Amino acid sequence: MSAAPESDIELLIERARGGDTRAFEDLARREERALYRHALRIVGTTADAEDVVQDALFSAWRSIASFQGLSFRAWLFRIATNRALDQLRSRKRRPELPLEPPEDDDVTWAEPAAPGPDLSQLAGDREALALVEAALGSLPAEQRTALLLRDVEGFPYEEIAVITSVEIGTVKSRIHRGRLAVRNALIARGWRGPEG
């Protein structure tokens, strides 16, 4: 997302911390779209996602003095993720799914019922993407959040642990379970995995 050199970002962060609203707006604009897609896939509706991101950015501005440790991007994602999960809990729109499924290392790998198209060739397939989107939507919110932070936003496990305030082992488990659920949803529709 950020095409600007790291030093430019550092400079903007310093200016924002010093109260420069324009510098903060510059920084926020770089992540606006990413925060929105992330929030949208957590809360499920565009209006809620827009509110979440706007609130999160405003809150980030007010607490910019407390920013430290994380990368600025991870810090923004932490605020937005917390807001989005709070929003989801308060609305109780989705059926209550266990936030933390019981640990089971040997997660079931569903087998394809019949040979189907190759998963690796489906990235452009609208139907497959819709299926992935639906599978993501049915995941427990915490699994979905970890999966999105990893596979869409590209955060390392360590940062995901800080963003979601859990141990790194939990992050590993959530990401793996989330991927497996999406993979199983695809397999259930007749796709087979690529030959490996």
- 124 makes contact with other proteins (CB under 8 A): yes
* Residue 194 binds other proteins (CB under 8 A): yes
Among 150, 159, 162, 163, contact with other proteins (rule: CB under 8 A): 150
Letters for 104-123 (x = contact with other proteins by CB under 8 A, - = none) are -xxx-x--------xxx-xx
Q: How far is CA 6 from CA 11, 97, 111, 124, 139, in A?
A: 9, 40, 45, 33, 35
Going by C-alpha positions, the residue among 120, 124, 122, 171 that lies closest to residue 145 is: 171
Query: Would you say 93 or 154 has its CB closer to other proteins?
Result: 154
Q: Is residue 139 within the footprint of other proteins (CB under 8 A)? A: no
Q: Give the binding site for other proteins (CB under 8 A).
A: 21-22, 24-25, 28-29, 32-33, 35-37, 40, 46, 49-50, 53-54, 57-58, 61, 105-107, 109, 118-120, 122-124, 128-129, 132-133, 136, 147-148, 150-152, 156-157, 172-173, 175-176, 179-180, 182-183, 186-187, 193-196
